[in-house]
Amino acid sequence: MTTVDPVTVEAAGDAVSAASGDVAERSDFGSYLLSKVAAAIVSFFVTLVIGFTIFSIMPSDPVAALTRGRPTSPRQLAALRRQLGVDKPVWVRFVDFLHRTFTLDLGYSYQYHATVTSLIASRIGPTLLLTGSSTLISIVLGIWLGVRSGWRHGSRLDRLSSGVSLTLWSVPTFWLGLILLVAFSVGFGPIPSLFPAGGMTSAGVGGGVIGQVLDVSRHLVLPCLTLVLVVFAQYVTIMRSSIIDELGNPYLLTARAKGLRDDDVRRKHAVPNALLPTVTVIFLQIGGLVGGAITVETVYSWPGLGYLTFNALRIPDLQLLEGTFIIFSASIIVMNLFADILYRFLDPRVRAQ
């Protein structure tokens, strides 16, 4: 007669339970991911419909704008309308718009005489450089200052940082850019001209690669500073509020009762839980990296997607506007999807749903 070891049976049962739990967890994550991807696709389609509707009802006539000041016969006007596709019915243009979107053929810019895809590819680098550097600085500075302000709320640092943050958050970005441009580029009173007034590079810069990097860095200072002063205030305010909400929770009292130092309680317990609302804002800001800051790039003539969009609005260059709109919308929706996925790993309450 064979004797069964109870310990072996218990271990086998635990292994089966663990395997079943892993399978159930993977199944739940698959369902969660599928639902979020489906929601992102629906959001993108609705955004396309809204964007096309806005472009279709724009009162400006691109043909009239292109031929303004030039003698053009009615036959030439009709040929130009046919070439641009503005003479087609709305539903036909919408189908063409969807086809070009999903085949990654974003059309042709009649303003720049180039494909929209090539224009976006040439401008996306400067935009990522500007908004990427400003966002990175804003995240580090905003979270650091928000944590310390919330942990010592009511202190002099908290009052000062909160006042400065709310002020900068309410300041129009283009107005702040103009002030910095006048003060540090044109010069104001005793302040000399310190940085270039616009563009990304200066003509005839020598010094090889190092000289070019330093030249781009000098051009980057003012637009990057403008974005940092506005964006970091959001992180300070949200992180401060999240830290204050965590202060009254019992787990912090338990951590202190175990003898942990105040810095350890803040860093290991309060900050990870308070970061959850900030994660959403960070990913939305990262989604805006591709879109860039239209006002800042316009003020400083920074050759990115924002400045490209501004120039396209002046005619308007419809296919170029549609192309940049697609890129802007897709980047934000994708980053929001990543935030939802990351939330599941950061917050156990999301996994429990």
Buried residues in 272-304 as b, exposed as e (16+ CB within 10 A): ebbbeebebbbbebbbbbbbbbbbbbbbbebbb
pTM of the predicted model, to two decimals? 0.76
pLDDT per residue over 232-254, tens digit each? Answer: 888 888 888 888 888 877 877 78
Q: Kindly compute the dihedral angle of the four CA atoms of residues 47, 53, 58, 63, in this order, to the nearest 10 degrees.
A: 100
CA 256 to centroid of chain Cα atoms: 38
Q: Which residues contact 299 (CB under 8 A, 6 or more apart)?
A: 174, 177, 178, 181, 223, 226
CA 239 to centroid of chain Cα atoms: 18
The mean per-residue pLDDT over the stretch 157-169 comes to: 85
Q: How far, in Å, CA of 252 to CA of 275, rounded? A: 16
64 pLDDT band, cuts 50/70/90, is low
Q: How far, in Å, CA of 20 to CA of 15, rounded? A: 8
pLDDT per residue over 249-291, tens digit each? Answer: 787 778 777 777 877 778 777 887 788 778 777 877 777 666 6
CA distances for 224 relative to 57, 170, 219, angstroms: 35, 18, 9
319 burial type by CB count under 10 A (0-12 exposed, 13-18 middle, 19+ buried) = buried
Asked if residue 19 has pLDDT above 60, the reply is no
What local confidence, expressed as pLDDT, does residue 319 receive? 81
Structural domains in the chain, CATH included, are 120-351 (1.10.3720.10)
345 pLDDT band, cuts 50/70/90, is confident
Q: How far, in Å, CA of 220 to CA of 204, rounded? A: 18
What local confidence, expressed as pLDDT, does residue 9 receive? 45
Tokens standing for residue 339: 């935030």
Q: Residue type for 72, please? A: T
Q: How far, in Å, CA of 213 to CA of 211, rounded? A: 5
CB 184 within 8 A of CB 237: no
pLDDT per residue over 171-219, tens digit each? Answer: 888 888 888 888 888 776 677 778 887 788 877 776 677 888 888 888 8
What local confidence, expressed as pLDDT, does residue 151 receive? 84
CA 7 to centroid of chain Cα atoms: 55
Tokens standing for residue 348: 């156990």
Round the average pLDDT of the chain to a whole number and report it. 79
Asked if residue 311 has pLDDT above 80, the reply is yes
Q: How far, in Å, CA of 186 to CA of 208, rounded? A: 27
CA distances for 158 relative to 164, 210, 232, 276, angstroms: 10, 41, 15, 21
Q: How far, in Å, CA of 18 to CA of 30, rounded? A: 18
